[in-house]
A = this chain, B = another copy of it.
């Protein structure tokens, strides 16, 4: 072949790339899954295009797994718990994916390395897949991208998807909205020693585990478990089908951790029996639809020049109390509509 002129290679076909990745993922190929999880976090339009085609392809093969959110403050021993819990699950024949969600983290290899050191044995196990699933500094990006990562893992054959929240912000609420069951792992502090759990977290939990119930902290752990059990009792349960339990466990010694798999099975069975399981997933999906529409509309609104030039001033007036929120909204919406209104047909 004689090369006469330089011609650039035709651009890769997004549909072909998506199809190739989908095929590999559905076969359970670990590297394809990892590539895909990285891809869905990219904001490049060409990557997004491939990601959208990919998700659409694999979607029919998703939905059967159990999605478990795990959260807890620093010092709770969450990593130790997840590793032990994961290994127990593998022993039971589960195929487990662990996604770490941290809205505030910077993307990068450091986080990945950290995770692999944290749960070294689990990350090496063939039946497990561990992956940080941060989405950069935008909390708005965490939810949709994590949802997609969950779907990819399910398509790859994992039957239990653990979504672990780390860091500050509203990660817990975000994750609770996309999982089936929410586990809270707490340190064995109680009474005066307690720093206090972030507000709103306790009520998200379907199961509360007081970790480090071993050695000198054993009594503390049981005392803490009793206190949380009393507190739970004061609040109306989320589901008539499920009574939230509080238990002292030891991830280090393996006490009470394996039993959590039974709890998950019981929870799923109880909620499936009444149709609540499916109904909850449908409600979560709908809420996510509205949230994404709302975010997109607000972004478009705020970036419209007529709004952008006025927003901070109106916001400042509203904050100062010299303009009501209703009046401020009216002004900005009028500016928005004036600029964007399509002329009547």
Contact = CB atoms under 8 A, between A and B. Distances in A.
Interface in A273-328: 281-283, 285-286, 288-294, 296-298, 301, 314-315, 318-328
A113 interface: no
A137 interface: no
Contacts of A237: 196
Contacts of A148: 324, 326
Interface string A211-252: 000000000000000011011011111100000000000000
A198 B236 contact: yes
A65 to B, nearest CB: 12
A315 B287 CA distance: 10
A151 interface: yes
Interface string A51-91: 01001100110110000000000000000000000000000
Contacts of A288: 318, 325-326
A3 interface: no
A199 interface: yes
Nearest to A237: B196
Interface string A237-272: 110000000000000000000000000000000000
A104 interface: no
Given A296-B333, A322-B59, A235 B301 contact: no
Nearest to A201: B235
Contact of A234 (B194, B293, B325): B194
A12 interface: no
Nearest to A144: B326
A341 interface: yes
A342 interface: yes
B321 A285 contact: yes
A286 B318 contact: yes
Contacts of A286: 315, 318-319, 325
Contacts of A330: 52
Contacts of A333: 293, 296-297
Given A318-B285, A339-B342, A292 B196 contact: no
A319 B280 CA distance: 9
Contacts of A296: 329, 333
A228 B301 CA distance: 44
A202 interface: yes
Contacts of A289: 314-315, 318, 325, 328-329
A197 B235 contact: yes
22 contacts: A59-B321, A147-B324, A147-B326, A148-B326, A194-B233, A196-B236, A199-B203, A199-B236, A227-B234, A231-B231, A231-B234, A283-B319, A285-B319, A286-B315, A289-B328, A290-B298, A291-B325, A293-B333, A296-B333, A297-B333, A340-B341, A343-B343
